[in-house]
């Protein structure tokens, strides 16, 4: 399946890495948002564009979402946790509540899937013995 392979391409993986490891730091600089208004050269763009397209394809039934939800739930939730502040600020600046709406929908759908999946298949965390929760699959930003 060619579309699934896009999520293993170096360009996507580099964008994903930037989003979960560096984007939060960039967003602390108010001048960075002005650079994001023309996102063509932004390192996060390849991932956000692919997530947006995947959201459209699944939402409108062009793709069966189950394989993507099952395989990409953690990357989707992780990236959205870091992208959401950027998306919200960009929506305000451009006065466009529809910007990246299908990426947001995809993240909500992935969270719904994770909750349902984990509720039916509860497993303890090896480190603590506590039951894994959907929120636990999201990588938290490193604290300084």
Say which residues have a Cβ less than 8 Å from residue 102's Cβ, sequence separation at least 6.
Answer: 51, 52, 53, 55, 56, 59
CB 90 within 8 A of CB 37: yes
pLDDT tens, residue by residue, 102-114:
999 999 999 999 9
Q: What is the pTM of this model?
A: 0.87
pLDDT tens, residue by residue, 32-62:
988 888 788 899 999 999 999 999 999 999 9
Residue 93 vs residues 36, 64, 82, 86: alpha-carbon distances, Å: 10, 34, 18, 11
* Distance separating alpha carbons of residues 91 and 94, to the nearest angstrom: 5
Residue count of the chain, please give it.
Answer: 144
* Distance separating alpha carbons of residues 16 and 11, to the nearest angstrom: 9
């Amino acid at each position: 399946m060619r579309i699934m392979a896009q999520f293993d391409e170096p360009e996507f993986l580099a964008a994903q890495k930037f989003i979960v490891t560096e984007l939060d730091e960039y967003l602390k600089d108010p001048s960075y948002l002005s650079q994001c208004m023309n996102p063509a050269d932004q390192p996060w763009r390849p991932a956000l564009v692919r997530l947006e397209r995947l959201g459209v394809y699944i939402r409108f039934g062009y793709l069966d979402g189950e394989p993507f939800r099952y395989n990409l739930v953690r990357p989707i939730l992780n990236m959205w946790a870091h992208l959401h502040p950027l998306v919200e600020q960009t929506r305000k600046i451009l006065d466009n509540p529809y910007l990246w709406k299908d990426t947001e929908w995809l993240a909500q759908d992935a969270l719904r899937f994770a909750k349902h999946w984990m509720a039916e298949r509860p497993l303890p965390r090896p480190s603590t013995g506590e039951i894994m929760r959907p929120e636990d699959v999201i990588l938290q930003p490193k604290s300084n």
